[in-house]
Structure 1
C-alpha cells in the first residue's frame, strides 16, 4: 500500500507565544522557518538548560514547522533539503537552529545526518518505512562514538542479530526513537542499523553526562546489550558509514551549527552593550567590528563548503571535498574561539553572570567546539595541499 505523506508545514513566529502555520514545499521555506523559529528557541533555552534534561517542547516546534521531515526528498514528503544543490540552504537552516539553541542544533544535526544516510544507503522499502516514521514524529539521530565495550552484532538464526556493548555520547538518549547506530560484525565490518528505540529500549546511564555545556542534549551512555534486531534494520552494506567524502565531509554541518552559536554570542554582546549605553566607547566599537568580521568570515566559509559539496564525487574531487571540509571545521573553531574571547572583553564579569544568556552560550559553544581529532583534520588538509601542483588561487577553485 502506498503511503500518502502530508504537506510540509512551515512556521512563522510572530512572538514568543504565537505560531502561525502555513503550507510550503521548498528548501528555502525550511530555512525561513528555522530563521523565524530561532528567537523562540532562544527564549526557551534557559528553561531546558538542565543536566539530564532535553528540549522536548522545542522539538515539538521543529516538528510543527516541518523541519523534522524537511531533509527528506520531495517524493517522500520533504523539501529535498538533503540534495547537494541545497547544501547552502541546509547549512543556513542548521545555523539558525544553532543560533536559537546550540543543544537543539546538535540533536537536529544528528537527525539530519541520519536521514541523509538512510536515503543514501537504505533500500526503497526501508526508506519509505523510515520516512513514514519521520512524518509520524519520530526523532532520528546518529550514535557512533564508543569506548572499549563498543557495539557488536552477534548472528542468530533466521537472519536476526543480538546486540552487545555500548555507545557513548548518545545525544538525545531517551528521546531519539530512531537512532542510526554502527556495530561490528564478526568479520570486523562496520554495519549501520536503525533501532526502533521506542520498542527496544536500551539501558541509559545518565551519570555519564556531567558536562561543562550542552547539558540539554542528554548525551548519555547507552547499553544495547541483549537487544535483538533483524537484518531488515540494516542500512546499506558494511563500511558504508565511513565512505568518503560523506563521512568527513559531514563536518560542515556541525560547523554551521557552531557558527549559529557564534552569531548568538554576537547578538547578545551587542544587546548587552546597547543596554549599558556603551555604544560610543571606541574600544567597544573596535571589538564589535572584529566580531562582525569574524562572523561574516564564517558565513563565507559555509558558502565555500556548499560549493565543494555540490561538486562531482569522482575520487579526486572527493579527496578535495574532505580536505576542504577539514579546513572549514578548523577555521570555524578558530572563529568561534576568537568570538568568545573578544565577547568576554566586551561584557566583562557582569555579562558572565546568570541569568545573562552569554554565560550559557559560552559554556555550550566551548563544549561543542571540542570535536574529535582537530589536529588530524588540519593535517589532512595540509597533506592534500602537499600532493597538489596547482597554485594557491586554483587549489580549491578549479
Structure 2
C-alpha cells in the first residue's frame, strides 16, 4: 500500500470578492499564473497545492457561499454566468485545478440546498477557513456502504473510485448505500477521519495532477451531524443532471487555452500570413465563440424564473454535448496548425491535449444527447420557442 497522503493544513482564507463579477474577474486574473505553473504540477499522483493556495488567497474557496455566509454568492441562480465564467477561467489556466474546483463548488451547492441550518453554518465556516470540499460518487463493485452502529453513529465500508483531490480534500462529500437501499450523502471530516488512499489506481492519460485515487473508507465512523439531506437527494433533478453545465464550462476553458497557445505558436513562427492557417484560426474562432454562447444560454435559463426540471435537464444535456463536440473539433484543428513541432515538449500542447481529452470522458455522453432528442420529440413547440419559451 502507498504511504498515506496527509491533508494539507488549512490557513485562513482572505475574504472573497464583494460581488460575483469580481470573483469571476479574480479567476480571470489568476488564469495566467495557473497556466504558467501547470507544467510543474503535471506529475502522476501529484496535486496542484500551490495553485489551490492561490485560490484560497483570492477568496475563491469561499466565493460560492451566499453573501450572508461570507461568500460572493456565485452559487445563486441569478449569478450562474459569473460562476460559469469563473470555472472557465480556472479551466483555461489548468484543467486539473478546474476539475477539483468544480467539485468544491458542487459540494457547497449540495450543502446549501439540502443541509440543515446548523450544518450549512458549520460547513460554510470551514470553506471560509480554507477547507477544500469535493464530491466523490463514482464507485465499482466494492462501493461505499453506511451501517448504523450504537450511540446513533454510522460505520462506513467500501471504496470510491476517481476521488479527485484525494489526500487534499479535507471535506469530501460522498454517497453511501444504506441497508434499506437508500442512497445517503455525507460530508467526511477527512482531516480527522482519514481514509485509505490508493494512488496505484490513478495511471491516467491526462489530468495527472488531479490526484483522482481510489479511496477506501472501511472502518471509519461518522455521526448524524455528518449526514446531508434525505436518502435519494443527491439524484434529485434538475440539480443532478443540470450541474453538467459546470464541468462543460471548465472544458471550454481548456479549449480556449488551446486556441490561445495555437495563436501564440503561429505568431512566434511568423505564420500569421499563411492563408490556410488563417482559415483554421477562423474555424477555431467559430468553435470557441459558439461554446461561449452556449454558456450564456445556460446561464440565462438558470436565471429565468420557473423553468421546469425537464427543460433544465434537457438543455444542460444540450450544453454538455455541444461543448464536448466543440472541444473534440478544436483538438485536431489545433494539431494541424502547430504540426509535429508544436506537439513536442516543452510546448504545452501535449499536456493540454492529454488533459482535455481525458476530461471530456464524462459519464453517459450518448444518453445525454439522446435525452435532449427525446425532449424535442415530446414537445410540439416550434424550434424558436423550444428552449426559450
The answer to whether TM tops 0.5 is yes
Cα displacement (A) at 1:7: 9.3
Aligned residues: 378
Out of 173, 182, 191, the position equivalent to 2:166 is 173
Contact between 2:13 and 2:130, CA under 8 Å: does it hold in 1?
no
- The equivalences for 1:149-298 within 5 A come to 149-298=142-291
1:395 aligns to 2:386 (yes or no): yes
Separation (CA, whole Å) in 2 of partners of 1:183 and 1:307: 34
Contact between 1:54 and 1:172, CA under 8 Å: does it hold in 2?
yes
Query: Could you state the TM-score of these two structures normalised by the residue count of structure 2?
Result: 0.96
Unpaired segments of 5 or more residues in structure 2?
1-11
Separation (CA, whole Å) in 1 of partners of 2:151 and 2:322: 49
1:376 aligns to 2:367 (yes or no): yes
Q: What are the superposed Cα offsets for residues 223-282 of structure 1, whole Å, 9 maximum, x if unpaired?
A: 001100011101111111101000000000000000000000000000000000000000
Q: What are the superposed Cα offsets for residues 335-394 of structure 1, whole Å, 9 maximum, x if unpaired?
A: 001000100000000111111011100000000000000000001111111110101111
Contact between 1:8 and 1:25, CA under 8 Å: does it hold in 2?
no
Cα displacement (A) at 1:137: 1.1
Out of 341, 345, 350, the position equivalent to 1:354 is 345
Larger RCO (CA under 8 A, 6+ residues apart): 2
Cα displacement (A) at 1:8: 5.6
Contact between 1:161 and 1:229, CA under 8 Å: does it hold in 2?
yes
Contact between 1:7 and 1:25, CA under 8 Å: does it hold in 2?
no
- The equivalences for 1:1-398 within 5 A come to 9=15, 24-313=17-306, 317-398=308-389
Contact between 2:14 and 2:56, CA under 8 Å: does it hold in 1?
no
Separation (CA, whole Å) in 2 of partners of 1:67 and 1:140: 12
Is the partner of 2:279 in helix, strand or coil? helix
Separation (CA, whole Å) in 1 of partners of 2:368 and 2:152: 39
Separation (CA, whole Å) in 2 of partners of 1:299 and 1:397: 18
Cα displacement (A) at 1:157: 1.3
Regions of 4+ moved over 3 Å: 6-10, 311-314
170-179 or 305-314, which deviates more = 305-314
Is the partner of 2:301 in helix, strand or coil? helix
Is the partner of 1:162 in helix, strand or coil? strand
Structure 2 residue aligned with 1:14: none
CA RMSD of aligned residues (A): 1.1
Separation (CA, whole Å) in 1 of partners of 2:372 and 2:328: 20
Unpaired segments of 5 or more residues in structure 1?
1-5, 11-23
Separation (CA, whole Å) in 1 of partners of 2:369 and 2:130: 38
Q: What are the superposed Cα offsets for residues 35-67 of structure 1, whole Å, 9 maximum, x if unpaired?
A: 000000000000000000000000000000000
